[in-house]
Amino acid sequence: MAHIRLDNVTKKFGLHAAVDGLTLDIADGEFFVLLGPTGAGKTTTLRLIAGLEKPDDGKIEIADQDVHQWSASERDVALVFQYYSLYPRYTVRQNLAFPLKSNARNCSQAEIDERIARAAKTLRIGHLLERKTDRLSGGEMQRVSIGRAIVREPRAFLMDEPLSNLDAKLRESLRAELKELQMKLKSTFLFVTHDQIEAMSMGDKVGILNEGKIVQVGTPYEIYNKPKNIFVASFVGSPSINLMPAELANGHVTALSGKLKIVAPRSKTNGAVTIGIRSEDITVGPKEQVAAHIHDVENHGVEKIVTLRVDDQFFKATAPSSLELKIDGTVKFSFNPDKLHFFDAASGASRA
Amino acid sequence: MAGVLDTSPAARAVTRGWSDLTIRNVFIIPTILFLIIFNIFPLIYSLGYSFTDFRASVNEPANFVGLQNFRELLTDERIWNNFWVTAKYVIVSVGGQMTVGFGLALLLNRAMPAKGLITTLLLLPMMMSAAVVGLFWRLLYDPSWGPLNYALGLGDLAWLSNADVALYAVAITDIWMWAPFVMLLSLAGLSAVPQHLYEAAAIDRASAWYTFSRITLPLVTPLLLIALIFRTMEAFKTFDIAYIMSTQPTTELISIKLYKFAFQEWQTGKSCALAYIVLIMVLAITNIYVKYLNKVKER
Ligand SMILES: Nc1ncnc2c1ncn2[C@@H]1O[C@H](COP(=O)(O)OP(=O)(O)OP(=O)(O)O)[C@@H](O)[C@H]1O
Ligand SMILES: [Mg+2]
């Protein structure tokens, strides 16, 4: 139960700033997802909050207290390590009992057993409890590692890509379990991932991290629909957003070498821009506006993802699976003008 | 198949010039020959002597006496006393070495300035000749002008000629000399404990003692046991520093007794028998350790 605040935190390794002037505010009881590509500084951020690294600059507060002088154990947060860090030579049960036995928590044996049983059930590792941890598969180790966090009642949960090694089905169900657990415990979760679907589906709030800096913080809706710049826009969404150069003049957007002309929805300053449009905002069908060459068709069951080509500009559109589409054929399409994103051609910042 | 690109092991061996078989013969056969000439043969030969009354000092043929040497030795109370002295010595000296060595390793197992230099300096005693160490400590222990009594304010305590203290004085010297060896192995064990386990334990809010006993100790135990095996074997057959430092009967270790049998009293047959008894004891003790070590490793 704690509110976590990072104020202008910087952590350098040598000359390289892994975390660079990071400011973050995670409300009490919030499920906050930190999303970023590899090397963005996600793990470093978690380690700074957990107290395993000391910041070179800035302030970290947990529950409104400056924790700079506090050791990792005093901070009382649970951390699920990216590489599990299970205790070797011990069984799964002993690993799960470790945080319960090892401190002044004074759990009775009955309580320990009960908590382990509960965590094992949530994570479906009941059958592994007596197994030594070095005889587990990667996904099993990962679940034990989550278990070691959730048997506790810490002030906050920090999880470093805890579902990365699980198969799609298990991942989906554990996503739901973790979300449910968080709602039940009403505790603060800081969940790190590089999987945008995970971020969008789990987070109350999502923070996009790149090169040690927060790029945008917002609800999944805001991140998806009002990306602050091209980086955020192309990082979330699958397939990723289509970007193409365009010209803005006299209330019209012109793109695809003049073949596409749309009324600009709001007043924008004239000039060169980069427009972005998500595949689901492109309609494909015989009655649409512009003709395109069909480069590729992927069948995804409920829908098809078509890669279209106009001259040498490729872009992806979503089409209903009932629509007949042939590779190398021709089809017509149009962009939904209300869903166009405008970015500065030079800086990539949103021009909304 | 016999193309240019034949990369089977046999073909590669041919291009290398020497086959694996040749290499085996060239390296292993001389080793085995040396071992047979200098180890196995004397071992068997002395086993033969242990059943005779052979004396190397007189030019007489050896007579077979059966188990008489063994019977005499094992019923001789003075021999048992030598074993008792040896046992005390082994326990004190190995116990001390393990404690001091592991303690030093714990102190050194952290980031600190001049760590490499300090470690090297601490290893020096181990590299000295035992004879030099013995003579040097005799000076340190000297009752009237030795620096040790002066520093500790012990007056004129005669370390080496006091029957009650002499054995422990020798053991202290042995600890000084060989604790670094234990330290070295312990350091190797300690630095092999992955740092992330300590981080996980800190996150789990484990106390320092809990972390030490649950994480550090189990992971270094195998190496500590190896150090223990080596030091016990060595301590059991200590001869040099004890012989150099003291002539007290209370420091007459079994190997000193053995030396006296063999080269002062020239009872070659009997000394061979005693050597075999010692060998069997050392083997038995190390076997127990090794069994335990394997059990620890399995866990
Ligand atoms: N102990 C360290 N020493 C030196 N550089 C480090 C150290 N830890 C991290 N870095 C560097 O800091 C940057 C951020 O690393 P971090 O582990 O936080 O990334 P991440 O976002 O967790 O990436 P991933 O998704 O791959 O786990 C990287 O460039 C990395 O090389
Ligand atoms: Mg990471």
Ordered by start, the domain boundaries in chain A are 4-235, 242-344
Contacts of B297 in chain A (CB under 8 A): none
Q: Report ipTM for this prediction.
A: 0.86
Nearest CA to A339 among A264, A269, A268, A273?
A: A264
Confidence of residue B277 (pLDDT cuts 50, 70, 90): very high
Q: Among A27, A80, A174, which Cα is nearest to B203's?
A: A80
Percent of chain B clearing pLDDT 90 (strictly above): 71
User: Nearest CA to CA, how far is A339 from chain B (Å)?
Assistant: 46
pLDDT of B77 strictly over 80: yes
The predicted pLDDT at position A156 comes to 94
B171 C-alpha to ligand 1 centroid (Å): 51
Residue B3: pLDDT band (50, 70, 90) is very low
CA-based nearest distance A87→chain B, Å: 7
Cα–Cα distance for residue pair A311/A223, rounded to 1 Å: 31
Q: How far is the CA of A195 from the centre of ligand 2 (A)?
A: 12
For atom 16 of ligand 1, the residue with the nearest CA is A41
Residue A226's pLDDT is what?
94
Question: Chain A interface, mutation test: which of B199, B204, B213, B219, most A Cβ atoms within 10 Å?
Answer: B204
| Span from the CA of A41 to the centroid of ligand 1 (angstroms) | 6
Yes or no, beta carbons of A148 and B204 under 8 Å apart: yes
- Cβ of A77 within 8 Å of Cβ of B203? The answer is yes
**pLDDT < 70 stretches in chain A:** 1, 103-105, 266-268, 352
A213, A22 contact by CB (below 8 A): yes
Mean pLDDT of B111-130: 92
Residue B18: its pLDDT value, please? 79
Mutate to test the pocket of ligand 1, among A11, A15, A42 (most ligand atoms within 8 A of CB): A42
Of all residues in chain B, the one with the smallest CA distance to A148 is B204
Pick the residue whose CA is nearest to atom 14 on ligand 1. Answer: A41
Strand partners, A60: A6
Q: Which of B223, B236, B229, B225 is nearest to B93 (CA)?
A: B236
What's the CA-to-centroid distance between A40 and ligand 1, angstroms?
Answer: 7
Residues of chain B in contact with residue A53, where contact means CB-CB under 8 angstroms, are none
Instruction: Provide the pLDDT for residue A266.
Output: 66
pLDDT of residue B10: 59
Classify residue A223 as left (phi > 0), alpha (psi -120 to 50) or beta: alpha
Task: Name A273's bridge partners.
Answer: A246, A344
pLDDT at A264: 80
pLDDT tops 90 at residue B145: no
Q: Which residue has the higher pLDDT, B248 or A230?
A: A230
pLDDT of residue A352: 66
- Helix B268-298 crosses helix B217-236 at what angle (to 10 degrees)? 180
Helix (H, G, I), strand (E, B) or coil at A308: strand
Ligand 1 contacts (CB < 6 A) are A 13, 18, 36, 38-44, 82, 194
Looking at this protein, which amino acid is placed at residue B25? N
E strand segments, chain A? 4-13, 16-26, 31-35, 57-62, 65-66, 77-80, 156-160, 188-193, 205-210, 213-218, 242-249, 252-255, 260-263, 271-277, 282-284, 290-299, 303-310, 313-320, 330-335, 341-344
Q: Which residue has the tokens 């404990």?
A: B193
Q: How far apart are CA B124 and CA B136, in angstroms?
A: 14
- Write down the pLDDT at residue A100: 92
User: Are A22 and A49 a contacting pair, CB within 8 Å?
Assistant: no
Per-residue pLDDT, averaged over B189-199, amounts to 93
Element spanning B196, H or E = helix B195-203
Q: Which residues of B258-271 are buried (b: 16+ CB within 10 A; e: fewer)?
A: beebbeeeebbbbb
Give me the pLDDT at residue B94, please. 97
Closest CA to A34 of A138, A157, A184: A157
* The pLDDT value given to residue B12: 60
Which fold is adopted by the domain A242-344? OB fold (Dihydrolipoamide Acetyltransferase, E2P) (2.40.50)
Residue A267 is predicted with a pLDDT of: 64
Does B1 score more than 50 pLDDT?
no
Query: Which among A73, A87, A152 is the nearest to B202, CB-wise?
Result: A73
**B204/A99 touch (CB, cutoff 8 Å), yes or no:** yes
Q: Which residue, A5, A19, A18, A107, is CA-closest to A65? A: A5
pLDDT at B273: 95
Task: Decide if pLDDT at B162 tops 70.
Answer: yes
Three-state DSSP class for B230?
A: helix
Tokens, residue B120: 């090297």
Domains of chain B: 76-298 (1.10.3720.10)
- The whole-number pLDDT of residue B2 equals 45
Give A4-235's CATH code, choosing from 3.30.70.1150, 3.40.50.2000, 3.40.50.970, 3.40.50.300: 3.40.50.300
